[in-house]
């Protein structure tokens, strides 16, 4: 179920938080309302970690990760690193990355299997991503934008890209990433998708201004819905189609 929320009156929640299948990071200093929204949805299943990166609350733009690991920029202080290590589940590997493009959240978009990176990223960083996050790394742009982390949002079920992406490119990316892609907007027509939307396999959070249409698109592409899907559409689907073919 997609939930609308605001971080201290700002609709750009993706800048202040990071959601994966194993954990959730949120920036400190927000109202209790913001946290309660997250904790209500997530705290039974995954830990919600309050942290800052280099003293800044914009953790969503600075870090990137999936259920296998978390990469933080070189500006992270030791104390923060220790704090994260204490709270993250043991399976999740934590690594500090030396990278010129230090806002990792803007330059990398990834799910548990595949990652799309900024074409100018360092070779070592690419290898680190491959090792720590256990993903296949592709250097590609989204439409004409190099900041792939800002203009695309990815989960294991699907992906949402910048509205001006040509269909050919959407097909290309879809083939690379092996997930269905759709072009759309969030926060009432805004192009900056990852700033307004964070998803994992079962939950999605978006800014307050997101319209019902946009929310519908998000729910359909990321396959997030309240009702548990009936067996006929999941496990039995393959068998049925086979027999009809």
Partner 1 sequence: MEYITPGQPSIGVILCCDCGAQIQPNPTNRCIACIRARNDITEDINKQGTLHFCRACERYLDPPNTWILAPLESKDLLKLCLRKIRGLNKVRLIDAGFAWTEPHSKRIKVKLAVQKEIQEGAVLQQDFIVEFVVIGQMCDDCHRIEAKDYWRAIVQVRQKTDHKRTFYYLEQLIMKHRAHDKTLGIKSVHEGLDFFFATEPSAKHLVDFFSSVVPCRWSQSKKLISHDIHSNIYNYKYTYSVELVPVCKDSIVCLPKKLAHQLGGIGQVCVVQRVTNNICLIDPCTAQLAEVSSSVYWRSPFASLCTSRRLKEFVVMETEDADVNYFTGQGQISHKHQVAEVWVQRASELGTDKMIFCRTHLGNLLNPGDTVLGFELGQSNVSDTNIDAMNQDHLPDVVLVRKIYADKATRNRKRRWKLRHLGVDEDASSQNRDYTDFLEDLEEDTQFRTNINIYRDASKQPQDGTESEAGDLPQIGLEEMLEDLHIGSDPTGEGEEMEGEEMGE
Q: How far is the CB of 165 from partner 1 (least distance, A)?
A: 6
Spatial contact of 245 and 50, defined as CB atoms under 8 Å apart: no
Task: Tell whether the torsion through CA atoms of 180, 185, 191 and 196 is positive or negative.
Answer: negative
Residue 114 three-state SS: strand
In the complex, least distance from residue 19 CB atom to partner 1, rounded to whole angstroms: 22
Q: Least distance from C-beta 203 to partner 1, angstroms?
A: 22
What character string, x for contact with partner 1 (CB under 8 A) and - otherwise, covers 190-219? xx-------------------x-xx-xx--
Q: Which single residue is written with the structure tokens 């399976």?
A: 91
Of 125, 112, 122, whose CA–CA distance to 155 is shortest? 112
Query: Does 174 contact partner 1 by CB under 8 A?
Result: no
Q: Hey, which residues between 49 and 68 contact partner 1 (CB under 8 A)?
A: none
114 closest CA partner among 71, 169, 159: 159
- Closer residue to partner 1 in complex, CB, 157/220: 220
Closest separation between CB of residue 162 and partner 1, Å? 8
Find the part of the chain contacting partner 1 (CB under 8 A) among 31-39, 81-89, 110-118, 179-187: 179-187
Interaction of residue 170 with partner 1, rule CB under 8 A: yes
By three-state DSSP, how is residue 203 classified?
coil
CB closer to partner 1 out of 55 and 166 = 166
Report the 10 Å Cβ neighbour count for 98. 11
For the bound state, the minimum distance from the C-beta of residue 163 to partner 1, rounded and expressed in Å, comes to 4
Q: Which of 29, 130, 166, 178 binds partner 1 (CB under 8 A)?
A: 166
In this chain, which stretch among 81-89, 99-107, 150-158, 159-167 interacts with partner 1, using CB under 8 A? 159-167
Helix/strand/coil for 167: helix
- For 51, the token pair is 């942290």
188 binds partner 1 (CB under 8 A): yes
Dihedral over Cα of 72, 73, 74, 75: its sign:
negative
Which residue lies nearer to partner 1 by CB, 167 or 230? 167
Closest separation in Å from C-beta 193 to partner 1 = 11
Half-sphere exposure of 24 (CA within 13 A, CB side): 28
Nearer to partner 1, 163 or 180 (CB): 163
Q: List the strands of the sheet with 93-97, edge to edge.
A: 64-65, 69-73, 93-97
Binding site for partner 1 (CB under 8 A): 163-170, 183-185, 188-191, 211, 213-214, 216-217
């Amino acid at each position: 179920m997609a939930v609308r929320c605001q971080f201290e009156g700002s609709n750009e929640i993706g800048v202040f938080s990071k959601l994966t299948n194993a954990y959730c990071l949120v920036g400190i200093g927000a109202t209790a309302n913001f946290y309660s929204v997250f904790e209500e949805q997530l705290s039974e299943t995954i830990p919600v970690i309050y942290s800052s990166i280099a003293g800044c609350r914009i953790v969503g733009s600075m870090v990137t990760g999936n259920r296998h690991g978390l990469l933080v920029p070189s500006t992270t202080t030791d104390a923060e690193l220790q704090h994260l290590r204490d709270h993250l589940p043991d399976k999740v590997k934590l690594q500090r990355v030396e990278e010129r493009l230090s806002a990792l959240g803007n330059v990398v978009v990834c799910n548990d299997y595949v990652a799309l990176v900024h074409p100018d990223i360092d070779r070592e960083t690419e290898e680190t991503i491959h090792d720590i996050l256990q993903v296949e790394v592709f250097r590609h742009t989204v439409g004409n934008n190099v900041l792939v982390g800002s203009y695309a949002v990815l989960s294991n079920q699907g992906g949402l890209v910048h509205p001006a992406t040509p269909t050919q490119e959407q097909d290309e990316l879809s083939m690379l990433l092996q997930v269905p892609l759709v072009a759309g907007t969030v926060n009432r027509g805004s192009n900056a998708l990852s700033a307004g939307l964070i998803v994992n396999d079962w939950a999605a959070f978006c800014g307050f201004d997101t319209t019902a249409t946009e929310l519908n698109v998000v729910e359909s592409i990321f396959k997030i819905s309240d009702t548990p899907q009936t067996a006929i559409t999941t496990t039995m689907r393959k068998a049925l189609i086979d027999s009809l073919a």
